């Protein structure tokens, strides 16, 4: 236990809190910070030390894990709140937030110039994966830095290095393109079943295990059938990711028409139907409303 590195975890929201609990349960010493102090304080019973400021949290940290809302917030926490300066020389920032690849590369360069290290390591698996320690972790950065933090990533999920700085974020965008588009495909299939006179729940069960099988058919398909859109992954988050996907595609001269259409529909769900805080499976509602049933 004493050989375990000191960890600071910044951002203890829906994803960060269970990730912190996984690290604490594995025996790591973890100091936590959150802009809303009560969210960090909730981790005290699990053994976390709560810091008053982000800079205080990282003063003795060998590894700083960030799980924050977006690129602008990560930039502010690292370079606006004094985290980068307060970190010891040689420490590693493992940014598990989902941010634009270009922003991740900028953070890596700025930290390297200060004698510190960076790994962009966004995740997939949602709150369920965070609780279970089964997240898919997509890492971008130097091989030696990745190997150094594998021990810390292990309690949270399965980590794979996919390339240099920024590549982890590109992998997460690829993941989110599949998620956002496939949610639409599952919604259309279940609506087709319903309008065509079949039982959507039975259709879902019938096609499970065939070529259409997926976690999205399983988890999100069930949510659609039950019309339970209590958020795991929010529509607002899916919009942020799809906007980054489309912008990154534009940067590299690539057109992604399916991603663009999914983005348009998620935005309509948010802006016209007030669904921004619903689970992203609620795209079902937008597609349903777009084709009213005939009477």
CA distances in angstroms from 77 to 39, 42, 183, listed in the order given = 17, 21, 33
What was the pLDDT predicted at 295? 62
Please check whether residue 8 is in contact with residue 64, taking contact to mean a CB–CB distance below 8 angstroms: yes
pLDDT tens-place values along the chain, 295 residues long: 347 999 999 999 999 999 999 999 999 999 999 999 999 999 999 999 999 999 999 999 999 999 998 999 999 999 999 999 999 999 999 999 999 999 999 999 999 999 999 999 999 988 889 999 999 999 999 999 999 999 999 999 999 999 999 999 999 999 999 999 999 999 999 999 999 999 999 999 999 999 999 999 999 999 999 999 999 889 999 999 999 999 999 999 999 999 999 999 999 999 999 999 999 999 999 999 999 887 6
Domain boundaries, the chain: 7-163, 170-290
User: What's the Cα-to-Cα distance from 68 to each of 20, 52, 74, 238, 280, rounded to whole Å?
Assistant: 13, 17, 6, 15, 19
Q: What is the pLDDT at residue 292? A: 87
Task: State the virtual CA torsion across 132, 136, 141, 142 in degrees, nearest 10.
Answer: 80
pLDDT for residue 90 = 97
What is the C-alpha separation between 290 and 295, in angstroms, rounded?
15
Beta strands in the chain (DSSP E): 7-10, 30-33, 49-50, 63-66, 92-95, 117-120, 123-124, 135-140, 157-163
Residue 252 and residue 100: Cα distance in Å, rounded?
Answer: 13
Q: Please give the CATH architecture assigned to the domain spanning 7-163.
A: 3-Layer(aba) Sandwich (3.40)
DSSP single-letter state for residue 282: G
Is residue 8 a contact partner of residue 57, using CB atoms and an 8 Å limit?
yes
Q: 12: which residues sit within 8 A by CB, 6+ positions away? A: 20, 32, 33, 34, 39, 40, 42, 43, 67
From 275, 37, 215, select the one nearest 289 (Cα to Cα): 275
At the second CATH level, the architecture of 170-290 is Orthogonal Bundle (1.10)
Q: Active site includes 172?
A: yes
Contact 99, 126 (CB under 8 A): no
Distance CA 196, CA 199 (A): 9
Active-site position among 116, 172, 234, 240:
172
* d(C-alpha 157, C-alpha 126), whole Å: 12
Q: What angle do CA 268, 135, 227 make, to 5 degrees?
A: 40
Q: 155 near 23, Cβ under 8 Å?
A: yes
The token pair that represents 191 in the structure block: 């609506």
pLDDT tens for 140-160 read: 999 999 999 999 999 999 999
């Amino acid at each position: 236990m004493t050989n375990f590195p000191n960890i600071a975890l910044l951002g203890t929201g829906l994803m960060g809190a269970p990730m912190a609990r996984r690290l604490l349960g594995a025996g790591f010493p973890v100091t936590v910070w959150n802009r809303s102090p009560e969210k960090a304080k909730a981790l005290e019973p699990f053994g976390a030390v709560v810091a008053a400021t982000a800079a205080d949290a990282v003063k003795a940290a060998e590894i700083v894990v960030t799980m924050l809302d977006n690129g602008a917030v990560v930039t502010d926490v690292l370079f606006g709140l004094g985290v980068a300066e307060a970190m010891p020389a040689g420490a590693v920032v493992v940014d598990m937030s989902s941010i634009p690849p270009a922003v991740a590369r900028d953070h890596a360069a700025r930290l390297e110039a200060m004698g510190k290290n960076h790994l962009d390591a966004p995740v997939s698996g949602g709150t369920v994966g965070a609780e279970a320690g089964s997240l898919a972790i997509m890492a971008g950065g130097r091989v030696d830095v990745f190997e150094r933090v594998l021990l810390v990533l292990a309690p949270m999920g399965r980590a794979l290095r996919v390339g240099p700085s920024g590549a982890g974020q590109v992998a997460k965008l690829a993941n989110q393109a599949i998620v956002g588009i496939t949610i639409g495909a599952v919604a259309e299939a279940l609506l087709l079943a319903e309008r065509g006179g079949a039982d959507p729940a039975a259709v879902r069960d019938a096609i499970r295990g065939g070529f259409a099988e997926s976690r999205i058919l399983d988890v999100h398909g069930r949510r659609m059938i039950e019309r339970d859109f209590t958020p795991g992954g929010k529509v607002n988050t899916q919009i942020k990711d799809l906007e980054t996907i489309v912008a990154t595609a534009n940067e590299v001269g690539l057109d992604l028409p399916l991603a663009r259409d999914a983005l348009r529909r998620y935005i309509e769900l948010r802006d016209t139907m007030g669904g921004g805080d619903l689970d992203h499976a609620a795209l079902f509602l937008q597609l349903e409303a777009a084709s009213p049933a005939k009477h």
